[in-house]
């Protein structure tokens, strides 16, 4: 499916929010935090009933994203939120969305685990007259008008910014690069890989290996351990998120090498743990992917329910950080 680049917009930062880490729950059944509403579009009050299906709790970024949504879509702000954790399984998300359809939610929102396989459930939501909003990740679908808006970063640009910095710093050095990919089939994994590859094309940076670490710290550590066993000439790691980069740091240190020096590391996200590692010199560069999507989501939902037009694509504003930038940003970092 062709992708289009839309104008970048800046969303209001979520104010006075304390972001708490959420524990992964891969051994538990899919969780759902439902409000008091029934199946008649919520409680019958003036609250807007929203069903939200989250990917999971696989990373610090995802935890911050979840808290932004929960702390924005509150009763005090005019919403009745039903929340479910898909534990990174598409079948769990589809089940949750069908449950929201059956409940007659005013709006359904979700961050899709993967890009494809959504046509049937999106057609069902459309048939029920329930608008759908995508957050963070896109889908590929043949359903016309399947969703009213997609809110999130430009993942291709994120990968390109990481690759451009790598090219500026290391072209001419003959660097050997390994890549820690995100979840196979997910939009950020596909797009960040594409953006980075395009940016280093024509340089002497050589991608010698690329495997998925599934966006998790443990996955990044295990894959990096395999890379270090298979290759004795790794100069640079490109990780699709901070958590995998942090896992790579553990593997590099266990191998008796210095992350950020013996092996350079570039990541995407900008969560506190990653920014701290950057400030400490263990990561060399981070391209931000802002997780605080709650305010934008709330605005889109309110406009949609009111019958007002909304932008079909809302691209969030992201920054990028070197070591000094991380040191300056950390004291006021919300996530």
What is the total count of domains within the chain? 2
- The mean pLDDT value for 217-242 works out to 98
pLDDT exceeds 80 at position 34: no
Q: What pLDDT is attached to residue 45?
A: 67
The answer to whether residues 202 and 120 belong to one domain is no
Is the domain of 116 the same as that of 265?
Answer: no
Query: Do both 245 and 130 map to the same domain?
Result: no
Residues 35-70 have pLDDT tens digits of 433 334 444 469 999 999 999 998 889 999 999 999
How far apart CA 32 and CA 119 sit, in angstroms, is 23
Domain containing residue 201? 155-289
For residue 102, is it within any domain?
A: yes
User: Same structural domain for residues 116 and 204?
Assistant: no
145 and 217 co-located in one domain: no
Residues 79 and 161 both lie in one domain: no
DSSP 332: G
Q: What is the pLDDT of residues 154-188, one digit of tens each?
A: 999 999 999 999 999 999 999 999 999 999 999 99
Say yes or no: 284 and 297 in one domain.
no
**How many other CB atoms are there within 10 angstroms of residue 108's CB atom?**
27
Sign of the torsion formed by the C-alpha atoms of 241, 67, 78 and 118: positive
DSSP 46-96: SSEEEEEEE--S-SHHHHHHHHHHHHHS-TTTTEEEEEEE-TT-HHHHHHH
Overall average pLDDT of the 177-202 stretch? 97
pLDDT at residue 122 greater than cutoff 70: yes
Residue recorded with tokens 């538990």: 28
Give yes or no: residues 54 and 149 share one domain: yes
- Examine the domain organization and report whether 119 and 163 are in the same domain: no
pLDDT at 297 over 70: yes
pLDDT of residue 28: 34
Q: Are residues 140 and 55 in the same domain?
A: yes
Q: Contact at 8 Å (CB) between 296 and 314?
A: yes
One domain, residues 46 and 167: no
Task: In whole angstroms, give the CA distance from residue 103 to residue 42.
Answer: 8
Report the CATH number that the domain containing residue 195 is assigned in CATH. Answer: 3.40.50.2300
Pairwise CA distance, residues 98 & 163, whole Å? 40
| Residue that is written with structure tokens 């010199």 in the block | 281
3 state SS of 330: helix
DSSP codes joined into one string, 86-124: -TT-HHHHHHHHHHHHHHT-SEEEE--SSSSS-HHHHHH
Residues 272 and 283: their CA atoms lie apart, in Å, by 12
pLDDT in tens, 67-94: 999 999 999 999 999 999 999 999 999 9
For the stretch 231-290, pLDDT in tens is 999 999 999 999 999 999 999 999 999 999 999 999 999 999 999 999 999 999 999 999
Residue 165, in any domain of the structure: yes
| Mean pLDDT computed over every residue of the chain | 89
Residues 125 and 160 in one domain: no
HSE-CB of 77 using CA atoms within 13 angstroms: 18
């Amino acid at each position: 499916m062709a992708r289009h680049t839309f104008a970048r917009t800046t969303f209001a930062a979520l104010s006075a929010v304390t972001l708490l880490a959420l524990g992964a729950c891969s051994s538990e059944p899919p969780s759902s935090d439902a409000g008091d509403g029934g199946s008649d579009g919520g409680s019958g009050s003036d609250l807007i009933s929203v069903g939200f299906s989250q990917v999971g709790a696989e990373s610090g970024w995802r935890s911050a994203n979840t808290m932004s949504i929960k702390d924005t879509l509150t009763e005090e702000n005019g919403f009745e939120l039903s929340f479910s954790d898909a534990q990174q399984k598409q079948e769990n998300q589809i089940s949750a969305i069908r449950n929201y359809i059956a409940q007659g939610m005013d709006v359904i929102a979700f961050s899709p685990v993967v890009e494809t396989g959504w046509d049937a459930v999106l057609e069902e939501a459309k048939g029920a007259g329930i608008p759908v909003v995508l957050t963070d990740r896109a889908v590929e679908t043949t359903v016309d008008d399947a969703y009213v808006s997609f809110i999130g970063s430009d993942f291709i640009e994120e990968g390109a910014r990481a690759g451009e910095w790598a090219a500026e710093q290391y072209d001419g050095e003959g660097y050997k690069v390994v890549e820690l990919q995100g979840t196979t089939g997910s939009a950020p994994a596909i797009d960040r890989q594409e953006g980075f590859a395009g940016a280093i094309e024509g340089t002497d940076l050589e991608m010698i290996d690329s495997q998925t670490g599934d966006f998790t710290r443990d996955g990044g550590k295990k894959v990096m351990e395999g890379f270090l066993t298979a290759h004795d000439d790794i100069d640079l790691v490109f990780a699709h998120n901070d958590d995998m980069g942090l896992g790579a740091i553990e593997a590099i240190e266990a191998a008796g090498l210095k992350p950020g020096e013996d092996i350079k590391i570039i990541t995407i996200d900008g969560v506190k743990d990653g920014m701290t590692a950057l400030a400490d010199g263990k990561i060399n560069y981070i391209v931000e992917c802002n997780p605080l999507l709650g305010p934008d989501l709330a605005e889109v939902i309110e406009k949609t329910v009111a019958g007002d037009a909304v932008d079909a694509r809302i691209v969030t504003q992201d920054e990028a950080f070197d070591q000094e930038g991380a040191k300056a940003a950390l004291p006021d970092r919300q996530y």
